[in-house]
Amino acid sequence: MLKKNSLIVWGLVLFVAWNALILFFLWTRPQSLSDHSRLTEEVIRLAQDAEVELERQKELLHQIYRYSSLWNKRKAKTLHLSPAVSVQSPTTALSPHRSQISPDAVLPVVVIACDRSTVRRCLDKLLHYRPSKERFPIIVSQDCGHEETARVIASYGDSIMHIKQPNLSDIPVPTDHRKFQGYYKIARHYRWALSQVFRIFKYQAAIVVEDDLEVAPDFFEYFQASFPLLLADPTLWCISAWNDNGKEQMVDVAHPELLYRTDFFPGLGWLLLSDLWDELEPKWPKAFWDDWMRQPEQRQGRSCIRPEVSRTMTFGRKGVSHGQFFDQYLKFIKLNDRFVPFTQMDLSYLKKNNYEHSFLAQVYAAPELRVEELQGNQRRELGTGAWGGGGGGQNAVFSSPVWHSRCIPGMRIVLCT
């Protein structure tokens, strides 16, 4: 840490000295009146740029100094919690392979925040349901520089960690993407925040949420129980708390313990390992990161675990999408309100071979429906699976005079093969 701080300080000294030499050289050259005017403007511009850069470096140094003591405390606590895990000081080395990560490793919750002062609703629920500050430290990464939101986050004191994305500048975008500037900034923020978590703080896994998510009572229980499954099964690349088909009328609310594998990346409260970040960071996109995650090149045939009933719910109508889907869809997602003791359950049925054997048998043994029955909202006794939602009830096979297919629920859109 001291070596890194020294490098930053020397970098600042060299930066200031170099700019001073350039300014001295330009100023001492013989110039005409108009040249002097242009030179003055150039000097002012360079000075402003230097001031911005110095402020940015000062903020980074401030964060490093602020969290160096917290890092030492976390290191000691992690060693106490997981003696089998070797915890090192922050470096840029690649993370350990999943087989080297302890099932009891610390799982920080990274809250991606910007300009929503309503982040309080998110943080209050996280702190209320959190079973252990040591096992689940909360890191709020703030972009945007919004002062009111910063004050709200700061009001939680040392119960959370508050870090700030230092680069608040606009991002050059193609002309037809000017209205999507916000999506570019979100992708930049995600990359910075996850790099802090895995490169600077050296965590081995992290749960990512956004500032407009409210969590369920068993949110932490769910991730604590499913984390060993993620470590053990290389065909999994994330654990998600979200069901995209999670409207109340489409899920089996009587069975909140049901979990499924999905080929669709759900996001909205998800757990990833540090070795996945090693893979994704070098090619991280400039914008639309969640859609990018759903491309075959990133997924590489891997799946995520997701619940029948969501363990997160979004309350953020305001955002870069301007409430595009909130009023029509997102606000109707059912948030689980019953605590399920997942850590006392055997989740090995979610491993690839076990899961495919049982799940496909259920699908192909399902009763057959005509499309007209589905469209007319008939045959409700078949349960939620018949409507292509969570698959918690009895599955159904849909047919029509024109086509016949078997539809497998469990993704954002029902997949028919």
Active site residues: 290
**The dihedral formed by the CA atoms of 273, 274, 277 and 279, expressed in degrees to the nearest 10:** -100
Selection from 369, 364, 399 nearest residue 382 by Cα: 369
Which residue is associated with the tokens 């859109």? 413
Strands 205-210 and 109-113: parallel
State the Rg of the chain over Cα: 25
Give CB contacts under 8 A, 24+ apart, made by 59-64: 59/164, 59/166, 60/8, 60/166, 61/5, 61/8, 61/9, 63/163, 63/164, 64/1, 64/4, 64/5, 64/8
